[in-house]
Structure 1
Amino acid sequence: IILLFFIILVNEKRVPSWTQIYRDTTVTVRCEIQGGEGAQWTYEWRQNQLNTPPTSSVYTINRVTESDGGEYSCRGRRSSSWTEWSDSTPLKVIVPIKPTLTLQPSWTPIYSGETVTVTCEIQGGEGAQWTYEWRPAKLNTPQTSNEYKITVTESDSGGYSCRGRRDYSLTYWSNIIRLTVSSKPKAELRADRTAVPVGGSVTLTCSVSPSSSSSSSSRWKYYWYRDWKSNEALTNGQISVSDGGLYSCRGGRGEPVYYTEYSESVRIDTTVSNRPVVTLYPNWSEIYRGETITVRCEIHGGDTEWDYEWETNSIIKPPNQNEYRIRSASSSNSGNYRCKGRMKSSRYKTTEWSDSVTLTVSDNVHSAASLTVSPDRVQHFTSDSVSLTCEGNFTEWRVRKFSEDGRLYSDCRRMTGSTCNINTSKSDTAVYWCESGSGEFSSAVNITVQNDGNGPILVSPVHPVTEGASVSLSCSLKTQKILSNVFFYHNDKLIQNDTRGELNISAVSKSDEGFYKCQYSGRESAQSWMSVKGEQHQNI
């Protein structure tokens, strides 16, 4: 008795005759004759697409398509006799399923330390026993799981995809999802001013940068802290405060909550109604070298004890006391003075700054000397090359320096002709002026050396600006000279907050005089005084 069988194999594995085969699968059909072993058989096939030698019992289709589907049967011949045709076996070729890969959470960017889930979903394959294959291959998850969770680092950035396998067939690879993992962000805290006005408030804004392209999808909540005590989480990144304190914030999102780094702290003072006044004794219009004068800060109202703070652009800085007695005045004492008081009983309660009072000390000598600074700005970075050049009809010069610690230096260490060259360090923060061999003095200039290697400096003019002239202030980093999205402050009040990197004043007036500083990416520059002079006046 001779029995003839028709067999279908996929990936060398026998599959049932009713099987649906995915397109692009390698399929082998085989004709087996039991009871006719050892005989020399030739074979005949019944399916239009088959193109195989008649003596072959095996036919392989490397990548099946829908046109390969149909009814297959075979028979064998030996000498002049044929077997009967085998039973017909259907071969149905279908298009493979393409899984869908999803990523949760779906916001971008994802930050280092957050937990994400990638899920491989096979539509129409419900109920089947699938195993899963992942790209990249480093994903170490059970093959039976269609879900992969990972607490990401920056090295996990890349493209992810998946496919399913069951028995003898594979789905297509899914869509590729690009995962970009950024380093853990630091919240940025900005204040529209640093002192709460009487009866008013200060607006604080907390943000996470770079933020999502769609702020609603980033789902940040903001956690606020005053003196390191936490308040409730708010979805709004902006609050108004009327209490003084040391404020900070951070962002959080997801479940469990993923937190950013804390922002830099911002000190907010509460302004009291007491008003300080600076007075000069004697209050003469002009003080001459050698005279004695007292600069006094007076705060009226109540019996409160105060600590005093002074700001001045003079060469010599007054101590933080309510009274500064100058026993032998010189041009080094000339400048603008203003003060404020801080309550001893409450460290965050202060007065407003007083109005500035100008002290002019005359040496009674017309100065024929001048000092220029290159680069022409007050603030400089550590290790900058700065040149101070004396000009005038004199052959002998020296550059004198009055340092922050109150020491007077008579000579420049690197003097070439009339130019003093400085490779800046923090100790070079001082007031400088030129002195000729015959005793002529130039006007004095302030030089401030920034001590924070990552912080910005304010680019502002060294010499007073003439009323009606234009002036531009800007913010600069050591590694980046031109910045955008800079905050500018005048006397601690925010005056410009937009995408511009410069503060342009087209026609300077006396009201523009004062202390200026800039803030970039949460870091503040030191503040510098910008003087304004009338067209007919000479600088002191």
Structure 2
Amino acid sequence: LCLSNIADRARATLTAATTTVSVGDRVTLICSVEKSAGWKYEWFRRTSHTSEDTINDGLNGNIRVSQGGIYRCRGFRGEPAVYSDPSDEVTIQITFSNKVSVTQKPSWSQIFRGERITLTCEVQGGEGVQWEYEWRTPQSQTFRTKQKDWTITASISGDYSCKSRPTDDSYSATNWSEALRLSFLDPPKAQISRSGGTLTCSVNPSSSGWSYYFYREKNQEVLTVQNTDFHSNREIRVSQGGVYKCRGGRGEPVYHTEFSDPVTIVAHKPKAELKITKSPVGGRVTLSCSVKPSSSGWSFFWFRGEKPSKLLRTQDADFLSNGQIRVSQGGVYRCRGGRGEPVYHTEFSDPVTIGEFNPCVI
């Protein structure tokens, strides 16, 4: 903008009836130079992406505009023209009527500090427009995102709101959405309770969406279905003694609660029970092995002879099922169960003696 070099130059003043106007409406801009008459006015507009252009030349001091952007003006009079200093800049924002709302994922009713949640800015009727988004936090800070989803780590409770604007127009935007009020709680702690050989894990305060992880002893390795009897997501049945604790986890990436206080289980090894289920005279004998108290996941191992006993293989007996064999050779037989990795074994069953003809229990 080229200005005349005149001392004590007058200064233009630009005023706007409002700096925000709905799309399709116009706003009146007024340019004036104080304490003198005979002025005409030049008007200029620019954006953050475009250079300044003259939009109105030699008219009076009032114009009406419907475009967003950065405006200023200056006065001139006489021949040759004497120019005033330009006015300060005024930014005009155009407001779209589209309604905007903020939603939360996951939609848990209770959120804990440190959890990751995603806020989504939804624009109604904005199809076909390439939007970018602005977010306002409880501290009145603002952030811009290219996508409508904004993932945050829960830390500051309060009101979160958003608005959107076309990516090619920095001076047009929707109104701010209604605020979504979020209240973040202190990190929760898991609780472990015991009823007999059953351990139950819960999260305090109670909330939804949790998976539960159980641990034994000091190695902190999580128990799995391969080495533990899971009754449900939050409940296991244990047969091994030791120190147990648990914690909850939810979300992606997983957010974990604090560990529960430990609980000590003093367990007695279950004992295998061996029964003769069929004993025809002079024929082969069917033996069945089970674990008391009854529980799932066991494999069964068969032995013949006084201690040390020989572990039976498929060539030594007919294996009818996991817990049942048929034998034709006399001797002293025992069994035991095993499960998990590494294998946890029950105590041996009481021995059963199979005679040449008449099996009997010792």
Name the TM-score class by shorter chain.
0.3 to 0.5
TM-score (norm: length of structure 1): 0.31
More strand by share: 2
Higher relative CO (Cα under 8 Å, sequence separation at least 6) belongs to 2
